[in-house]
Amino acid sequence: MSDIIQAYTKLTTTDFSKTGTGAVSNMTNSVLMTDPSAGSAWDFTILVKAVPTAPYSFTVHCVNYQTYATYQAFGICLKDSASGKLISLNCTTGGAVDTNYIRTKRMTNETTDYGDYTLTSNIYYTPNWFRYVDNNTNRYSYLSRDGINWIQFDTQSRTDFITPNQIGICINPYSQSSACLFDHFKVDYSG
């Protein structure tokens, strides 16, 4: 895996802008995102940067440090800064140890759920790699445990629900404190 990681950029808070109530901290070669217990169910904290011109792919490696509380989420996102809408490809804890959901979640803003595109339950592992690909026609989402073998999870028209102008990483505490360590990312301009 070290060869794979070397092809990626070490993530720092200077690469992104923060929205949401959580905190972000630079660690050694990584970013720690933490979010205290939120008053509402959905309360995403996200770090975003400008989306590249399509075609592109955006890949992130993360290490999950969340507790196994129901519906805590971590992953990557696409955001339309004008409307506040976002789409998140995330792993969401199911409340039981080693029971996770993988979903592409639509939000009208960081706190308002609009529903899932795709939801798969009872995933008995946590993906460490997340990827969005925009080929200028469609958006594809992928997951991986090792950064080599990828599973396509979802496909949507590139302008369905939002026309994103930002890409980023995200966590959601779902009414309980949570934390996630993200360490590397890569933007590939060939999609």
Residue 51 confidence (pLDDT): 92
pLDDT of the residue at 124: 60
Q: pLDDT higher for 141 or 8?
A: 141
What is the spatial distance between Cα 34 and Cα 181, in angstroms, rounded to a whole number? 9
**Whether the predicted pLDDT of 34 surpasses 80:** yes
With bands split at pLDDT 50, 70 and 90, how would you rate the model's confidence at 165?
very high
pTM, 2 dp: 0.88
Q: Which residue has the tokens 């026609």?
A: 137
pLDDT, position 58: 93
Q: What residues are paired with 91 via a beta bridge?
A: 74, 102
Q: What is the DSSP string of 20-53?
A: SS-EEEEETTEEEEEEPPPSSS---EEEEEEPPS
In this predicted structure, the answer to whether residue 49 has a pLDDT above a threshold of 90 is yes
The string of pLDDT tens digits covering residues 23-33 is: 888 887 788 88
Nearest to 38 by CA among 64, 71, 63: 71
Whole-number pLDDT of residue 1: 47
Which class is domain 2-188? mainly beta
pLDDT at 82 over 90: yes
Domain residue ranges in the chain = 2-188
Most confident of 12-26, 56-70, 84-98: 12-26
Q: What is the largest CA-CA distance in the chain?
A: 42
pLDDT at 125 (0 to 100): 65
- Lowest model confidence (mean pLDDT) among 8-12, 47-51, 107-111, 147-151: 8-12
Per-residue pLDDT at 2 exceeds 60 = no
